[in-house]
Amino acid sequence: MTLSRPVIVAGDWKMNTTPADAGRLATDIAAATEVAGVTRIVCPPYVALPAVRDALAATSVAVGAQNLHGEPAGAYTGEVSGQMLVGLATWCIVGHSERRRDQAESDELIGRKLLRCAENGLRPILCVGEQLAEREAGLAEETVRGQLERSIGELRRLGAGLPADLVVAYEPVWAIGTGRTAWGSDAAAMAALIRLVLAESAGVPEDGAGVPVLYGGSVTSASIAEFLAEPEIDGALVGGASLKVDEMAGIVARAGMTAAARASAA
């Protein structure tokens, strides 16, 4: 089943770029990352979504949003609903570690956001991961398991299941912008746990073997090879490096090697 999973590289631009420059950056990244077998996604800020969508219309690069609200509509000033994203994006990041930290997003809220993605045809990239204190206390797996189980529980409470096209990104929060480095083996072990929990808690078939799991811990062109060498890892959610054309080119080139190896082994 490993060989049938897609290889995915998603760039999270966070709160960077403006509508004036986002389209050009997206165009340059698309041109520099034309590699067979790799699903490429660019996730700009909300205000740049139209410019990026238009810039990428003639390419195979998909557009993703960085977030969406947990309700379909309502009195939520400054928020963006899933239905507002229809026609602007086809992917959406859910539960990013920065939103968990800065907006105190709960796992239950993230579960509702997954439902909103499913309702609006947005393919979700669900982010999970532990803080440094949790890893040092030996609670990394317990933390990630709890995040998944609580979000799944909220979906179940609402009478829904996990989106069938779910992608999960493992973010070791302690390795993001801190200078600390996670190992490929750490990420692979967590990917295996993620699939197990999805199978146990949500009934995902074949022990979750068909669910793509990405690595998202300060990914660069220099570090990506170690993670893509692990069969359990199917790509990357790239942060700061996704704003640099050369970095994205290097990351996608390495992802293309993984895609080619899987295709030849199929």
Q: 237 - beta bridge partners?
A: 10
Residue type at position 24: R
- Which of 96, 154, 232, 247 is flagged as catalytic? 96
- Which of 98, 171, 230, 232 is flagged as catalytic? 171
96 classed as catalytic: yes
HEC assignment per residue over the chain:
CHHHCCEEEEEECCCCCCHHHHHHHHHHHHHHCCCCCEEEEEECCHHHHHHHHHHCCCCCCEEEECCCCCCCCCCCCCCCCHHHHECCECEEEECCHHHHHHCCCCHHHHHHHHHHHHHCCCEEEEEECCCHHHHHCCCHHHHHHHHHHHHHHHHHHCCCCCCCCCEEEECCHHHCCCCCCCCHHHHHHHHHHHHHHHHHHHCCCHHHCCCCEEECCCCCCCCHHHHHCCCCCCEEEECHHHHCHHHHHHHHHHHHHHHHHHHHHC
Residue type at position 173: V
171 classed as catalytic: yes
Which residues are annotated as catalytic? 96, 171
